[in-house]
Every structure is written in C-alpha cells, then in structure tokens.
C-alpha cells in the first residue's frame, strides 16, 4: 500500500467518522435548543 493510499484512507476515516461524531454532538445540543423553542 503506497503512502498516497494510506493518506487517503486516513482522510476517509476522518471525514466519515468525524462528520458522524460531529453530527451526534449536534443532535445532543439540538435537544436543548428545541426545548427552548417548546417553552416559548
């Protein structure tokens, strides 16, 4: 496996898992924000 390919797989992991992790944290935050809207 070439260095280019290793680098590409690292970026695939960062993009795939990183974006899902950020989205999960977003969903956690959003619960709080939606509560605020329901109160109003």
Partner 1 sequence: MYEIATIDYIIIALYLAGMVGVGLWFAKKHTDFEDFFLASRSLTTPLLITTLISTYYGIDVLFGDSQLGFTNGVVAWFAYARPTYAFFLIAAFLLAHRLREDDFKSLPDILDKYYGKKTRYVGAVTSFIYSLPALSLYGFGMLGEVILGWEPIMGMVVLGGIALVYTLTGGFWAVAFTDSIQFVLMCVVLAMAFPFAMNLIGGFDEMIEVLEPSYFDTMGDMSIWLIIIYASTGLSILVEPTFYQRIFAAKSYKNVRNALVIGIFIWGSYDWIITIIAMAAKVAVIQGTLPFDVAPDAALLTIMVAALPAGALGLFMAGVLSTEMSTLDSYCLVAGGNVAYDIYKPAFKPEASDQELIKTTRHGILLSWVLGFAMAISFDQMLGLWVFMASILISSVLAPILLGMYVPNFRKPLAGFLSAGLGLVSTVILNIYIMTNGVFDLEEETYIIDWFGIDFMLEFVMYITVPISLIGFFVGVLFDKGDHHE
Q: Which residues bind partner 1 (CB under 8 A)?
A: 1-2, 4-5, 7-8, 10-16, 18-20, 22-23, 25-26, 28-30, 33, 37, 40
Shortest spacing between CB 39 and partner 1, in angstroms: 11
Shortest spacing between CB 12 and partner 1, in angstroms: 5
Q: How far, in Å, CA of 35 to CA of 40, rounded?
A: 9
3-state secondary structure 1-40: CCHHHHHHHHHHHHHHHHHHHHHHHHHHHHHHHHHHHHHC
Shortest spacing between CB 29 and partner 1, in angstroms: 5
């Amino acid at each position: 496996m070439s260095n280019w390919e290793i680098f590409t797989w690292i970026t695939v992991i960062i993009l795939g898992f990183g974006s899902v992790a950020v989205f999960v944290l977003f969903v956690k935050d959003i619960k709080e924000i939606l509560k605020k809207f329901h109160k109003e």
